[in-house]
Homo-oligomer: A and B are copies of this chain.
Amino acid sequence: MANEKKLDCVILGLLSHEELTGYEIKKRIDTALKYFWGASFGSIYPTLKELVDKGLADKNESGQSRNQISYTITPKGREFLKTWLRLPAEKDELRYETLLKLFFADEAGVDSALMHIENFAQKIRNELPFLLESVRVLEHLGNEGAHPYYLVTALFGVKTYQAYLEWCEEANGILDK
């Protein structure tokens, strides 16, 4: 029961802010939600169809370009979203392959362990500037509308990324001796 589909809520959430096409929804997920959620086209388009069927979103065929289809949230969709938002979160989960490979690294040797840590650190270092920039912008935008919520989630990214980098140092120190 705890494993319901969340993508419909993600999409409704995005639509609650603005009218969007499937393609744009994918972009939003890959940028703003990147560090705590993911989804592919192969799940986004079918879910969009479902939302329309259930009366939670409306399809607007007449985009500025002929082949663009944009979606808006319906009042019923907004109600659905609000109900879900107020329910306690059921599942927060991590799947860190890096940690897995590290946990079992005894079998493969310390060099490969150090490589995994370095790869991980590199990925984080690449992404951190984007996140810091988001925070900078959001702090300027002040307390209107959804901005404080965006800020808080971006700060989560920053905090955890910084913790990851500190851990990489620490782990290196322990293993590389």
Residues of chain A touching chain B, judged by Cβ–Cβ distance below 8 Å, are 6, 9-10, 13, 16-17, 32-33, 35-38, 78, 81-82, 84-86, 88-108, 112-113, 115-116, 119-120, 123, 145-146, 148-153, 155-156, 159-160, 162-164, 166-167, 170-171, 174-175
A93, B38: Cβ atoms under 8 Å? yes
With contact pairs A120-B89, A159-B163, A163-B162 given, residues A152 and B106 touching in the complex (Cβ less than 8 Å): no
With contact pairs A103-B149, A115-B88, A120-B92 given, residues A166 and B159 touching in the complex (Cβ less than 8 Å): yes
The CA-CA distance from A160 to B155 in the complex, in Å, is 14
- What distance in Å separates the Cβ of A133 from its nearest Cβ neighbour in chain B? 18
A95, B36: Cβ atoms under 8 Å? yes
A81, B104: Cβ atoms under 8 Å? yes
Provide the main secondary structure of the chain A interface.
helix
Contacts A/B (CB < 8 Å), 26 sampled: A9-B104, A10-B100, A36-B96, A37-B95, A38-B93, A78-B107, A81-B104, A85-B105, A88-B116, A88-B119, A89-B96, A89-B116, A89-B119, A92-B98, A92-B123, A103-B153, A104-B149, A106-B149, A149-B175, A151-B174, A152-B174, A155-B171, A155-B174, A159-B166, A159-B167, A160-B160
Indicate how many identical chains form the complex. 2
Can you name the residue of chain B whose Cβ is closest to the Cβ of A111?
B86
The CA-CA distance from A145 to B105 in the complex, in Å, is 10
Can you name the residue of chain B whose Cβ is closest to the Cβ of A78?
B107
- What distance in Å separates the Cβ of A30 from its nearest Cβ neighbour in chain B? 13
Q: Please name 10 further chain A to chain B contacts, defined as beta carbons within 8 Å, in addition to the given A89-B120, A113-B149, A159-B170, sorted by A numbering.
A: A37-B94, A81-B108, A85-B105, A88-B115, A90-B97, A92-B120, A99-B153, A106-B145, A152-B174, A160-B167
